[in-house]
Structure 1
Amino acid sequence: MPVSAATAAKLREAMQRLLAGEPIRTDGALTKENLAREAGVSHATVHRAEDILAEWDAKVPRQVRRTPGKVRRDEDIDTLRRQLRGAKQQITELNGKLDALATVTANLYHENFALRRKLGQNPRIAVLPAAD
Structure 2
Amino acid sequence: MTTSHSRDLTEDGVSAHTAAALRAAMKRLFDGKPQRTDGRLVKENLWQEAQVSRATMNRATAILAEWDSHISQHGTTTLGEARRDDEITRLRRKLAEKTAECTLTNRRLEAAATAIAALHHDNTLLRQELAASGRVTQLRPRKG
1:74 aligns with 2:85: yes
Cα pair 1:30 1:63 within 8 Å, conserved:
no
CA–CA separation in structure 2 for the residues paired with 1:91 and 1:116: 37
Percent identity, aligned pairs only?
50
Structure 1 SS opposite 2:36: coil
CA–CA separation in structure 2 for the residues paired with 1:58 and 1:106: 70
Q: Which moved more, 1:51-60 or 1:32-41?
A: 51-60
RMSD, aligned CA: 2.3
- The structural deviation recorded for 1:100 is 1.1
Superposition pairs for residues 1-132 of structure 1, below 5 Å? 1=6, 2-61=13-72, 64-120=75-131
- Taking structure 1 as the reference length, the TM-score comes to 0.75
- The structural deviation recorded for 1:78 is 2.1
Residue ranges of structure 2 left out of the alignment (5+ in a row): 1-5, 7-12, 133-144
Residue ranges of structure 1 left out of the alignment (5+ in a row): 122-132
Can you list the C-alpha shifts for 1:66-102, whole angstroms capped at 9, x where unaligned? 3334333333332222222212211221111111111
Aligned residue identity for 1:79: R
Following superposition, which runs of at least 4 residues in structure 1 exceed 4 angstroms of deviation? Answer: none
The count of aligned residue pairs is: 121
Cα pair 2:31 2:79 within 8 Å, conserved:
no
Can you list the C-alpha shifts for 1:28-60, whole angstroms capped at 9, x where unaligned? 222222211110001111122233223323333
CA–CA separation in structure 2 for the residues paired with 1:67 and 1:50: 23
Which has more radius of gyration?
2
Structure 2 SS opposite 1:61: helix
